[in-house]
Structure 1
Amino acid sequence: MTTTSLTINGPMRPRYDEILTPDALAFVERLQHRFGGQRHALLADRMQLRYDLGNGRDLRFLPETESIRRDPDWRVAGAGPGLHDRRVEITGPCDPKMTINALNSRANVWLADLEDATSPTWANIIEGQLSLFDAIRGRLEYTSPGADGAPGKEYRVTAERTPTIVMRPRGWHLVEKHIEHTDRSGRTFAASASLVDVGLYAFHNAHALIAAGRGPYFYLPKLENHREARLWNEVFTFTEAELGLPHGTIRATVLIETFPAAFEMEEILYELRDHCAGLNAGRWDYVFSIIKNYRNRGLRFVLPDRDRILMTLPFMRAYTELLVQTAHKRGAHAIGGMSAFIPDRRSPEVTERALERVAADKRREARDGFDGSWVAHPDLIPVARAEFDAVLGDRPNQLDVLREEVAVTASELLDIRSAGGEITLAGVRANVSITVRYLESWLRGIGAAAIDHLMEDAATAEISRSQLWQWMHHELRCADGTFITHDLVEGMLAEVLAELPRPDGHKLAEAEEVFRQVTLGEDFPTFLTVPAYARFLVERDEEPIDSATDQRAA
């Protein structure tokens, strides 16, 4: 199907025409024409920054924007309808079953995730949009497949009050290869995944959300600086004008999940001030970003085993305390990080210890001034809610907790050596196992994978593979004296692969190939999802679509 400058390469399965309507695609086309060039320029700036950091530059608070930080008067738009109380937020992909479970979860907010928890197959993206489309209109139902083709369990939304939906689009660095855009010079590119996700969701749902007493709300991932925030603000302003929405209707919560963004939190809020509701401490992507940006800078930036990177470490405390102070100073919510443990009734002792750790983590966040926090499983909601209820009481948030005593310096954010700890053989093997198992799941179309009692997504897998790369390239030793070499990791990879089951449709061979590319190669891919996405062939209908006939039918 072809519009003026967009070509849909993916198959038009049942109901896809309800999302990929001519008018919706025309809107996405206008977003691409208006903002595609700026996006490319900002991605080039990211490459330059990584080059500079690799050559000895350290991040700092920007002297050229000091006046913004010193100005006491400006504030962000703040919470929109349905966003004032965010004490417990559940995250998850947008397939029908997970959508229904999230809406029945009794969380305050559902992060409807088209990013790290979603493997971006064509079906997952468009059917995720369909799930949201139906859920917002109160008509989503799902029947799981049963044995021998018989219907299985039925799922439907039963909660009287459902969580406020905040949709997370894919990041600026990603593309949607099933939608091609031809620019004014005649060159053809895969469309920006960010603009596709936001454009389709806002076009179809903004007015329905407002009528339901909520609004078109977004979580913005992977931002690295205030210029990228400025681009999002321009996208939102343009979207409001195009869709006939009052300026400021859209609300965004920014994930501070890259190391460079931690040094520009206030500037990011300033650029998005007409549309901003909050900041979130995306802690696992933040750790990955540290390793990625400083991976070649020596022992000063080497972290211990993944499970020893705790929020109580000094450099992580500096990051979260600065986030709370910055957000509240400007009237924005501060939302805490993910607890990804999956309770298991078959392992009551493991579950009890893990729930105690989750409770301690949420207790620390609530006492530090956070207004809410994330969980990955419905069974964690009561644990998180109890800790925030104990601090918030009847208040919807604690924006009045300004943390004026906090005075974080750039050197404190950069003090990665404060992590201390050690690297163990068990930690190396765990990283190998997590990376290859997650990649296999992702390549099968499952972006949130239950692995060893944790819900792993792209962010946590990124930590595992980037630690392996860094440890090998620095020729580090484990605590027992074993050198971390390519041969060691190759041997562990072979052992892990030999132990894994091979059900029908498994992708272990492909996962092994991607593992070698993102972990064992000399080059360091900026995101594992980029080479993994290249493995997805463009899905096509068996018969070509006649665009004129298709548009008349739509």
Structure 2
Amino acid sequence: MSTSALTHRARVLAAPGERHDEILTPAALDFVGRLAAAFGERRPGLLKERRRQAIRLAAGSPLDFPMVTSAVRADPEWCVAPPPPGLADRRVEITGPPNRRIAVNALNSGARVWMADFADATSPTWGNIIGGQLCLLDAVERRIDFTTPEGREYRLGAPDRLATIVVRPRGWHLTEEHLEFDGGPVPAALVDFGLYFFHCAQRQIDAGAGPYFYLPKLENRYEARLWNDVFVLAQELLGIPRGTVRATVLIETITAAFEMEEILHELREHSAGLNAGRWDYLFSLVKTFGHRSDFLLPDRSKVTMTAPFLRAYTELLVRTCHRRGAHAIGGMAANLPGRDPAALAEVRLDKEREAEAGFDGSWVSHPGLVPVCREVFDGVLGHRPHQIARNRDDVEVSAADLLSVGRIAGPPTPEGVRTAVAVALRYLDAWLHGRGAVELDGLMEDTATAELARVQIWQWLRHRVVDRETVLRLLDDELTALGAEHPWAKLDEIRAIFERTALQPELPLFFTADAYTRHLVRHPEARS
């Protein structure tokens, strides 16, 4: 592409950083700008539809499987594209932010897939976003080896033993304030997708894999359709065969759970299946139905995947995927190995439940959990790459089954309230300091679990199962403890975010959007 043809270049509104010019090339910025020009105007309309749907549900409208798409669900003939190279066997997938140490450990972990996460596991500072793109480029180019000042070596293993890279961009609800196109910020999803696709798509194809993605926070088929259109144009612009892109959609909102088949149908030539994103799913339930007492959730630790409404959700996901020839990927094991033998036993039981239910693989957050997950799925799959042929025709799930939260509903324990406050505050501290995944009390916490913590506090306050004075006292106590442990903690900013997003009468949909703009955006003089 000649320089004279670069007519859609996005404008960088951030100070230059080390090696940033390798990612923010004129051609790459033009590619991102072309995506923004083509799809930027559709995004606000989809976000407005999210708000309209939320208002309808809050007013008492029933949530059900859409009648208008019943023909799609009833048609037995259509299937998604077959698994592409590197994504046939997905029995263990490991997740983490795209930084060099995590990347080397994840790629060498023995997992079949590494999800490089720009969404829930990354604090979206500009340095993290472009640093993550550099990390991925270096990983694809096999130049990511390094030695720490303490002498610890990080080296990639043999190519045939490395995990396949799958990238999770940020959701449609976020923008990237450090890139401007046509007078406004570029949708963050298009930045994360576009920069990786531009630099690494052909490189991945040449290496025998492809440009693969996880799509977060989708709420309906229209948002899946937008992603499919992005894939079609991106492949056309770079001369990559249509259908090369593959994407797994995280079913992590309650509205998307009612449109699983429709989402697969919209993406069918680019689909790699669905994933059961459990913590965001609970977060979505509270956001959507937090005003109703029959959706009052107890402590997070008490909401297990054996709860009837969660079992209905996972079994419907497996049935839907296998009926359409797609992978069904299970949820996250966030426990940290070596801390609590009982916790590892719980991980094993959880993975056994998923494998027996028909899932084709599952997620772990730490390399130490890979052997446990792999052993469980090896026992069910053997030498088969998946169990897509197991159709689960025995599963019948109704709208009432997906919404039967009241059967486990109940007030929190005092310890559960304190834990929620502590997780929210300590995660915010890490996030403000540029860390999107943090170890807390034996668990790997990320944005999803922090979001769940703060909306549960809001829900408990709304239904007066916890009084405001108790939460304010815990807020003071935990901030004092945090300040003693981390003298660098930004206590005033943490308190402000918590009060705005957990203690107000109206519940903000995400803490990340407002907190990002207020606390993480840095706008020095713009450069073209």
CA distance in 2, matches of 1:159, 1:115: 29
User: Does the 8 Å CA contact 1:329/1:402 hold for their aligned counterparts?
Assistant: yes
Where does residue 229 of structure 2 map in the other structure? Answer: 234
Structure 2 residue corresponding to 1:386, chosen from 375, 393, 398: 375
CA distance in 2, matches of 1:4, 1:362: 47
SS of match in other structure, 1:177: strand
Q: What is the 5 A alignment of 1:104-143? A: 104-143=108-147
SS of match in other structure, 1:236: helix
- Report the Cα offset of residue 490 of structure 1: 0.2
Where does residue 429 of structure 1 map in the other structure? Answer: 418
Letter in 1 for 2:427: Y
Structure 2 residue corresponding to 1:337, chosen from 331, 335, 347: 331
CA distance in 2, matches of 1:291, 1:388: 32
User: Does the 8 Å CA contact 1:121/1:536 hold for their aligned counterparts?
Assistant: no
Structure 2 residue corresponding to 1:256, chosen from 251, 256, 262: 251
Offset from partner CA, 1:129-170 (integer Å, 9 cap, x none)? 000001001111234355xxxxx5332213442100010000
Offset from partner CA, 1:66-121 (integer Å, 9 cap, x none)? 00000000000131101000000000000111111111111000001000000000
Q: What is the 5 A alignment of 1:39-438? A: 39-146=43-150, 152-160=151-159, 161-182=161-182, 188-297=183-292, 299-344=293-338, 347=339, 351-438=340-427
SS of match in other structure, 2:40: helix
Q: CA RMSD in A?
A: 1.4
CA distance in 2, matches of 1:546, 1:355: 50
User: Does the 8 Å CA contact 2:115/2:165 hold for their aligned counterparts?
Assistant: yes
SS of match in other structure, 1:165: strand
Letter in 2 for 1:528: F
Q: Structure 1 residues 497 and 281, CA, compared in 2 at 3 Å: closer, same or farther?
A: same
In structure 1, stretches of 5+ residues that fail to align are 147-151, 183-187, 477-483, 548-554
Q: Structure 1 residues 206 and 316, CA, compared in 2 at 3 Å: closer, same or farther?
A: same
Q: Structure 1 residues 416 and 252, CA, compared in 2 at 3 Å: closer, same or farther?
A: same
Letter in 1 for 2:179: I
User: Does the 8 Å CA contact 2:432/2:520 hold for their aligned counterparts?
Assistant: no
CA distance in 1, matches of 2:486, 2:55: 43
- Report the Cα offset of residue 538 of structure 1: 3.4
CA distance in 2, matches of 1:58, 1:386: 42
CA distance in 1, matches of 2:158, 2:284: 38
- Report the Cα offset of residue 449 of structure 1: 0.7
Offset from partner CA, 1:30-50 (integer Å, 9 cap, x none)? 000000011111011001011
Letter in 1 for 2:119: E
Letter in 2 for 1:257: E
Give TM-score scaled by structure 2 length. 0.96
Number of equivalent positions: 521
User: Does the 8 Å CA contact 1:144/1:153 hold for their aligned counterparts?
Assistant: yes
| 1:490 and 2:494 correspond | no
CA distance in 2, matches of 1:540, 1:329: 49
Where does residue 149 of structure 1 map in the other structure? Answer: none
Q: Structure 1 residues 65 and 545, CA, compared in 2 at 3 Å: closer, same or farther?
A: closer
SS of match in other structure, 2:386: coil
Letter in 2 for 1:74: W
Determine what percentage of the aligned residue pairs are the same residue: 53
Structure 2 residue corresponding to 1:467, chosen from 456, 474, 478: 456
Moved more, 191-200 or 159-168: 159-168
User: Does the 8 Å CA contact 2:9/2:29 hold for their aligned counterparts?
Assistant: no
- Report the Cα offset of residue 422 of structure 1: 4.3
SS of match in other structure, 2:298: coil
Q: Structure 1 residues 404 and 535, CA, compared in 2 at 3 Å: closer, same or farther?
A: same
Q: Structure 1 residues 519 and 64, CA, compared in 2 at 3 Å: closer, same or farther?
A: same
CA distance in 2, matches of 1:494, 1:504: 15
Offset from partner CA, 1:473-495 (integer Å, 9 cap, x none)? 1112xxxxxxx121110001111
Offset from partner CA, 1:241-300 (integer Å, 9 cap, x none)? 111111100000000000000000000000000100110000110010000001112x11
Q: Structure 1 residues 545 and 436, CA, compared in 2 at 3 Å: closer, same or farther?
A: closer
CA distance in 1, matches of 2:435, 2:315: 34
Moved more, 415-424 or 361-370: 415-424
- Report the Cα offset of residue 463 of structure 1: 1.1
- Report the Cα offset of residue 4 of structure 1: 4.7
CA distance in 1, matches of 2:9, 2:18: 24
CA distance in 2, matches of 1:545, 1:460: 35
User: Does the 8 Å CA contact 2:436/2:446 hold for their aligned counterparts?
Assistant: yes
In structure 2, stretches of 5+ residues that fail to align are 1-5
CA distance in 2, matches of 1:279, 1:493: 37
Give TM-score scaled by structure 1 length. 0.92
Where does residue 10 of structure 2 map in the other structure? Answer: 6
User: Does the 8 Å CA contact 1:3/1:25 hold for their aligned counterparts?
Assistant: no
User: Does the 8 Å CA contact 1:169/1:198 hold for their aligned counterparts?
Assistant: yes
Letter in 1 for 2:275: N
SS of match in other structure, 2:460: helix
- Report the Cα offset of residue 502 of structure 1: 4.6
Structure 1's consecutive aligned runs of 4 or more residues displaced over 6 angstroms after TM superposition are none
